[in-house]
């Protein structure tokens, strides 16, 4: 049985390798990741993970794994920042507040059956000064990241409290992922 990772994220690939599930092939799904009008964060992140998994070509004997991560402040979805101004806005929203990091995983087995899980991690940032926001924006680390930050990098210094899956905040909740792979018949190495 071969594992196809429907993601080009090096973080997801590394997290999979840690649990003995090194992908045999990488597929880059091309989907529209825009939230639908009125769509709430949990259904949004689950839909995107499923869409990514379905968009990846699956050959005989292959299972596909896809994931998506988003940050939710109340009912608001904080996707990847569009530019530095958007990143500043996101960091301002996260400053001194608790938020949810939702990380969805979808595995499609060799028979075409999709299995899904969503990890919900509560993260609280310290109150950020303008100088800290300037420093983080200048680092460039937050661009291309859900919610505008990478917990595995410089932004970890902003985290006052975390309850849930650290790996889910990085981009792939390994506990949930392992369970889905095992339920799909994949033998972890």
Query: Residue 125 and residue 159: Cα distance in Å, rounded?
Result: 5
pLDDT at position 55, please?
Answer: 96
Give domain status of residue 70, yes or no. Answer: yes
pLDDT over 70, % of the chain: 100
**Are 159 and 124 within 8 A, CB to CB?**
yes
Q: For residue 135, give its domain range.
A: 2-183
Give domain status of residue 188, yes or no. Answer: no
Query: Residue 161 and residue 40: Cα distance in Å, rounded?
Result: 24
Instruction: Tell me which residue of 135, 134, 138, 142 sits closest to 78, measured CA to CA.
Output: 142
The region that residue 144 occupies, defined by phi over 0 for left and psi between -120 and 50 for alpha, beta otherwise, is left
Write the CATH number for 159: 3.90.950.10
Query: Residue 104 and residue 108: Cα distance in Å, rounded?
Result: 13
The pTM assigned to this predicted structure is: 0.92
Give domain status of residue 189, yes or no. Answer: no
Give domain status of residue 12, yes or no. Answer: yes
Please work out, in degrees rounded to the nearest 5, the angle formed at the alpha carbon of residue 10 by the alpha carbons of 7 and 11. 100
| Per-residue pLDDT band at 105 (split at 50, 70, 90) | very high
pLDDT at position 52, please?
Answer: 97
**Residues with catalytic annotation?**
68
Q: Can you read off the two tokens belonging to residue 179?
A: 């369970």
Query: Residue 46 and residue 148: Cα distance in Å, rounded?
Result: 20
| Per-residue pLDDT band at 5 (split at 50, 70, 90) | very high
Give domain status of residue 151, yes or no. Answer: yes
Total domains in the fold of the chain: 1
The answer, yes or no, to whether residue 189 has pLDDT greater than 80, is no
Q: What are the backbone angles phi and psi of residue 52, rounded to the nearest 5°? A: -65, -45
Query: Residue 59 and residue 166: Cα distance in Å, rounded?
Result: 32
């Amino acid at each position: 049985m071969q594992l196809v990772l429907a993601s080009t994220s090096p973080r997801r690939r590394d997290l999979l390798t840690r649990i003995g599930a090194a992908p045999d092939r990488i597929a880059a799904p091309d989907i529209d990741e825009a939230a639908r009008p009125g769509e709430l964060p949990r259904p949004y992140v689950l839909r995107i993970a499923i869409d990514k998994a379905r968009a990846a070509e699956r050959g005989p004997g292959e299972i596909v794994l896809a994931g998506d991560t988003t940050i939710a402040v109340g009912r608001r979805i904080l996707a990847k920042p569009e530019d530095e101004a958007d990143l500043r806005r996101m960091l301002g929203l996260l400053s001194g507040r608790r938020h949810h990091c939702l990380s969805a995983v979808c595995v499609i087995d060799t028979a075409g059956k999709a299995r899904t899980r969503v990890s919900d991690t509560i993260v609280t940032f310290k109150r950020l000064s303008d100088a800290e926001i300037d420093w983080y924006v200048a680092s460039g680390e937050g661009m291309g990241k859900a919610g505008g930050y990478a917990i595995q990098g410089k932004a970890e210094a902003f985290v006052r409290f975390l309850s849930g899956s650290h790996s889910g905040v990085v981009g792939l909740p390994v506990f949930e992922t392992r369970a889905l792979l095992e339920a799909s018949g994949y033998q972890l190495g």
